[in-house]
Amino acid sequence: MESSVTTLLPPHAPVNRARLTLWAGLATALTALNLRTAVTGLSPLLETIGADLGFGLALAGLLGTVPAATFGVFGFLAPVITRRYGLERTAAAALALTALALVLRALSPTPLALVASTVVALAGIGAANVVIVPLIKAWFADRIALWTSGYLLLLQTGQFVAPLLAVPVAGATSWRLSVGIWAAPAAVAAVVWLTLAIALPADHHAPAAAAPVTQRQIGRSSTAWGLIGLFAMVSVSNYSIITWVPAVLTDAGASAARGGAMLGLYSAWGVLAALVVPQLATRLRNPFVVVVACSVLLVVGYAGLALAPLDGTVLWMCALGVGVSTFPLCMTLINHRTRTPQSASAVSGFVQGVGYGLACFGPIGLGLVREATGSWTTPLVLLGATALPGLLAGWYACRPCFVEDAVADTYAA
């Protein structure tokens, strides 16, 4: 731990390194907890909010697309901002923006205000998505698997707790309080990052040797494109499930509360994935077997929902919950396929920017297909088909090589 912190602090800096590392760990944990609550805490309430504000399936599908779209845009922008202001300052600003926007979303008087505040909230989360990966590499370089597991564990905790609380809290109070309560932990995370940022210069992560790769250079790496494809396919699945599975179940005759509970069950499996997958990704020279297993489970889950949505709901949601474990695989490989925090930031932004950009077509596209066909069968078949490009992309992503080396080889040639 001492060696990793030493590399990112100037030798003359009058700071207590152990204390700053403790702050960094706390800030990382709080950030992870906030990365999905604004998304999964909203989806079980879309019908309730739609009835109150006056919108239907089309706008609900748009709201399901907003996370991936904003994550994509700010995936590209975040590395540019971090190069200017530093990782910690970017994280503090991103989470403060999210907290403010979540309060505004809870107060939304119209559908337009709801969409606008959601976009702003998720813009902040999109930036936080990107910077948390290089922050782990910068502060905990000798414990990447452990801290990646911890961050993903807390991310998944927030993801499955939010939908479990959404309907009961809305029923006991109002949907506005139910979606607004998540502003509080985001604000706390922003304060902790700001406290850490004040103690450090913005450039304290500056590399001592070669400059990091740029996003343009990353585009020459097949490993990076493999990560993009794998990340895009798992994101299509994840955000489509989060957005539409409650509707799939209620259309089949289940209650709204059961839809929220099944979404919580789906998210809960991410806790196990967060503990296991980063360890596998660091221990296996080529973790492609993880991609194969996840692809099979996704196909099983989608087929089950299409053929028997109520008879085997628990089984199908478990299969889908484990099937999206390629998400923690991607997050781990971003750090393990790069050499420096700066390169990890650039690759993280590139992968999440392009990946989320492609994924944003999933929820709204599936909503339109559902309206056109009058059934969820075709959308679920289309989701199952995404396992094939995911397999191909995973083959390239999992190969044991560094993104920087591929860029260097290209220039050498």
Burial class (CB in 10 A: 0-12, 13-18, 19+), 293: middle
pLDDT value of position 151: 84
**What's the half-sphere exposure (Cβ side, CA atoms, 13 Å) at 364?**
14
Cα–Cα distance, 346 to 359 (Å, whole number): 19
What's the residue count for the chain? 413
Task: Give the per-residue pLDDT at 289.
Answer: 94
CA-nearest of 349, 302, 299, 327 to 397 is 327
Q: What is the reported pTM?
A: 0.74
State residue 207's pLDDT score: 46
pLDDT tens series, the chain, 413 aa:
334 444 444 444 445 667 788 888 888 888 888 888 888 788 777 778 877 777 766 677 667 667 777 777 777 777 777 777 788 888 999 999 999 999 998 998 888 888 888 889 988 988 888 888 888 888 887 788 888 888 888 887 887 788 888 888 888 888 888 888 999 989 998 998 888 888 776 545 544 444 556 666 777 788 889 999 999 999 889 878 877 888 889 888 888 778 878 877 887 787 788 788 888 888 888 999 999 999 999 999 999 999 998 888 999 999 999 999 998 899 889 888 887 777 777 888 888 888 877 777 777 788 888 888 888 999 999 999 999 999 999 999 999 888 877 655 554 44
CATH class of segment(s) 10-412:
mainly alpha
Return d(Cα 182, Cα 170) in angstroms, integer.
13
Query: In Å, how far from its chain's centre is CA 202?
Result: 25
DSSP code of 302? H
Output the pLDDT for position 157. Answer: 83
Sequence ranges of the domains in the chain: 10-412
CA distance 134 to 345: 5
d(CA 244, CA 285): 36
Q: Could you give the CA distance from residue 42 to residue 63 in angstroms, rounded to a whole number?
A: 9
The whole-angstrom separation of Cα 131 and Cα 197 is 14
